[in-house]
Amino acid sequence: MKLFQMTIHDLHEMLKKREVSCKEITNSVFERIDKVEDEIKSYITITKESALKEAEEVDRFIKNGDNISPLTGIPLAIKDVLCVKGIRTTCGSKILSNFTPPYDATSIKRLSDQRPVFVGKTNMDEFAMGSSTETSYFGITKNPWNLETVPGGSSGGSAAAVAADECIAALGSDTGGSIRQPAACCGIVGLKPTYGRVSRYGLVAFASSLDQIGPMTKDVRDSALLMNVISGKDPLDSTSADIPVPDFTKALIEDVKDLKIGIPKEYFVEGMNKEVETKVWEAIKLLEKLGAKPKEVSLPHTDYAIATYYILATAEASSNLARYDGVKYGYRTKEKKDLLKMYKKTREEGFGPEVKRRIMLGTYVLSAGYYDAYYKKAQQVRTLIKRDFDEAFKECDVLITPTSPTPAFKIGEKMEDPLQMYLSDIFTISVNLGGIPAISLPCGFSKDNLPVGLQIMGRHFDEETILRVAYCFEQNTDHHLKKPEL
């Protein structure tokens, strides 16, 4: 196996035993990028120069005999929604195409303290609004498993970079499925933590009550290793939770005996993709064979999740994106006769169609006369969706569903029909509305050799149990070991 193909924990063992240098690992990853990036286009910005410098520093550090942490010397990719000091951060948008943050996001700061190597910033749907990475101002990312299909989105660049071995692991962000759905499409592991588990400071805001940062990795152990570092209370984000962070790797035990697994019947409906359905049921049967106790449950308000989400998320987005006015940072129009005209032109030229559509929808549902009918109503339905989960978790330890209703779809297929695009998040959105954690991991391949994702949802702040179930499943299957041919 080549160095670039390996996991965080594999490489850590080798670094610890001095079997390899950080420079060798980093060079290997950049050789891989040189070979496949022209086809895949995972990255918006590649930071080769600073990465090689970081690698040399790490090697000096290791040579000094200092103790190294599991992330030391590991080449990581970062979704371009997270601020990294001194490195252009675009959020996939023209309006931020020239923005260089003067500070680090807290998750980046916490990673940096462990001395990894930052390879670059990955492509994404503009402002994380999309399910295919096709709305990026910087072009389309391809799915490494089939270059004619999308990698999913919005964290499609991170997912593709991990799947194509253009990095060892990556960070993404998830507002309605943006970590899990691309992870499923690209056959990798993606975890959306509980709302509040990871500080959002320095994450360019989309919908503040739903956004979470999380790991996108080649296996479940790597997911736990990244969670160990990025989690925890942060004074700079008042919504980050003051709850102790466990060592998530301790949860990785190959045992699901007597765990109660809920199968929400609303997620297995008439007309769903047969291949996805079959693979997910095979996964449930395997877990049952390993000792878990599956049980049908009901989440009766599932059918209302997308409508609820597209009111709340767009309302929050319309407010969050009001800051892009061409004054303090970002793109400014050349036409600037007066201030109001300058604002309007800047935003017209700086935002792409999907972002405009969502700003419009969000502004509409918050506008005078419509607030109660849409926004307040959606907040009430959010309560019902959250209660569904509370009820289900009284009788189950985890819930298992497909991550996405279909394997990766064709590039261009859903771009003209926004509602169809929104429906590709049908199985992931409720999790954000309920604020619970969920992980997606590969559970098989379609007949066209496209990955299928299994989603495991857990109780608030119980990432440990979903990691345990995911780990146990992974150790008894080999889907995560398959690589796309590139």
Partner 1 sequence: MKITKKEVEHVAHLARLELKEKDKEKFTEQLSDILTYVEKLNELDTKNTETTSHVISIENVFKEDVIKDSISLDEALNNSPEKEHKHFKVPKIID
Q: Which residues would be at the binding site for partner 1 (CB under 8 A)?
A: 98-100, 102-103, 194-196, 209, 235, 238-239, 241, 301, 303-304, 306-308, 310-311, 318, 322, 325-332, 336-345, 347-348, 351, 353, 356-357, 359-361, 363-364, 367, 374, 376-384, 386, 418-419, 433-435, 460
Please, what sign has the CA dihedral across residues 353, 180, 213, 7? Answer: negative
> Looking at beta carbons only, is 294 or 300 nearer to partner 1?
300
Report the residue number, 147 or 373, with the smaller CB distance to partner 1. 373
Minimum distance from residue 420 beta carbon to partner 1 (Å): 10
**Which one of 79, 121, 218, 414 is the catalytic residue?**
79
Catalytic residue among 28, 42, 178, 231: 178
Q: Which position among 28, 42, 107, 154 bears the catalytic label?
A: 154
The 10 Å Cβ neighbour count of residue 395 is: 10
Based on the number of CB atoms within 10 Å of its own CB, is 349 exposed (0-12), middle (13-18) or buried (19 or more)?
A: middle
- Cβ 39 to partner 1, closest distance in Å? 32
- In whole angstroms, give the CA distance from residue 178 to residue 309: 13
Q: How far is the CB of 64 from partner 1 (least distance, A)?
A: 29
State yes or no: is 154 an active-site residue.
yes
Q: What does the buried/exposed string (b/e) look like for 56-69 if buried means 16 or more CB atoms within 10 Å of the residue's CB?
A: eebbebbeeeeebb
**Residue closer to partner 1, measured from CB, 71 or 311:** 311
- Which C-beta is closer to partner 1: that of 65 or that of 369? 369
Measured from the CB atom, the residue of 16 and 88 that comes closer to partner 1 is 88
Contact between 198 and 214 (Cβ < 8 Å): yes
Residue 270 or residue 338: which is nearer to partner 1 going by CB? Answer: 338
- The answer to whether the peptide bond before residue 367 is cis (omega within 30 degrees of 0) is no
Shortest spacing between CB 366 and partner 1, in angstroms? 9
Residue 307 Cβ, how far from partner 1 at the closest point, in Å?
4
Q: How far is CA 411 from the centre of its chain?
A: 20
Q: Is 79 an annotated catalytic residue?
A: yes
Enter the tokens of residue 319: 């407010």
Closest CB to partner 1 among residues 145, 324: 324
Shortest distance, position 314 Cβ to partner 1, whole Å: 9
- Residue reference for tokens 């992980």: 439
Instruction: Tell me the closest approach of the beta carbon of residue 428 to partner 1, in angstroms.
Output: 16
HSE of 116, CA atoms in CB hemisphere, 13 A: 29
Residues catalogued as catalytic: 79, 154, 178
